[in-house]
Amino acid sequence: MTFLNIFKSTNINDELVKYRSLPDAILLDVRTKEEYAEGYIPGSINIPLDDILEVENIVPDHDKQIFVYCLRGTRSKKAVSKMKMLGYKNAVSIGGIASYKGPLGKK
């Protein structure tokens, strides 16, 4: 990794292409329930960052590919860090829905 790579941001739209190419992958939104209800990426499940330990009940397979997003990417990075401590090997932060260029689901 070069020095400039630390400043490179993840493009949620590119990462969603990867997510959609993996039939068993999980798309996880770690925003609050209220934020999720206002608009979410279709196909995602919501586990707020404050409740991230619940992931073990919802996704018990620690080898599952999990794409994690929030509003801007900060909470998703924290969630992935906690998930890695729980033993999830393939959880990745894909950034924030604020950069998403697609249709939103609403509750």
Q: Is 70 a catalytic residue?
A: yes
Cα 81 to its chain centre, rounded Å, is 12
Any idea of the CA torsion for 85, 29, 55, 25, to the nearest 10 degrees? -90
Instruction: Give dist(CA 1, CA 82) in Å, integer.
Output: 23
Out of 27, 70, 83, 92, the active site residue is: 70
**In the beta sheet, which residues pair with residue 29?**
46, 69
Residues noted as catalytic: 70
